[in-house]
Amino acid sequence: MDKGFRRLLKRLLHDFAADSRQRELSLPANLSAADRYYVHVAAEAWGLGHASHNEGGERVIKVWKLSRSRRSMRSGADPGFGSD
């Protein structure tokens, strides 16, 4: 995966986690399997719910906020996965 794209995904997820107005984030179907995996890992690290839906070229990933009691990390914490 391209490092610039990975940084963009990390920033997108960080901003989503920090924005109290947003509850769900849908990412486009053109993400590769590696990109979706990275989103799953990042979402897990930030204590966000995550799931992929559909098959093949229509596969999308959704990320959502869990209740505070179900979150394992503070929303502003940097999970430290991967290097930039």
Q: Is the model more confident about 43 or about 1?
A: 43
In terms of pTM, does the model score above 0.75?
Answer: no
Domain range holding 24? 3-70
- Residue 30 in domain: yes
- Residue 35 in domain: yes
Give the count of alpha carbons within 13 A of 43, CB side only: 22
- Residue 44 in domain: yes
- Residue 75 in domain: no
Give the CATH number for residue 56.
3.30.1370.50
Q: Which of 49, 78, 81, 74 is nearest to 62 (CA)?
A: 49
Q: Cα–Cα distances in Å, from 66 out to 7, 26, 38, 43, 55?
A: 23, 15, 19, 11, 25
- Residue 31 in domain: yes
> Tens digits of per-residue pLDDT, 33-70?
888 899 999 899 888 999 998 877 788 899 999 976 55
The mean per-residue pLDDT over the stretch 23-41 comes to: 90
Total number of domains constituting the chain: 1
- Residue 77 in domain: no
- Residue 34 in domain: yes
| CA 20 – CA 44 distance, rounded (Å) | 18
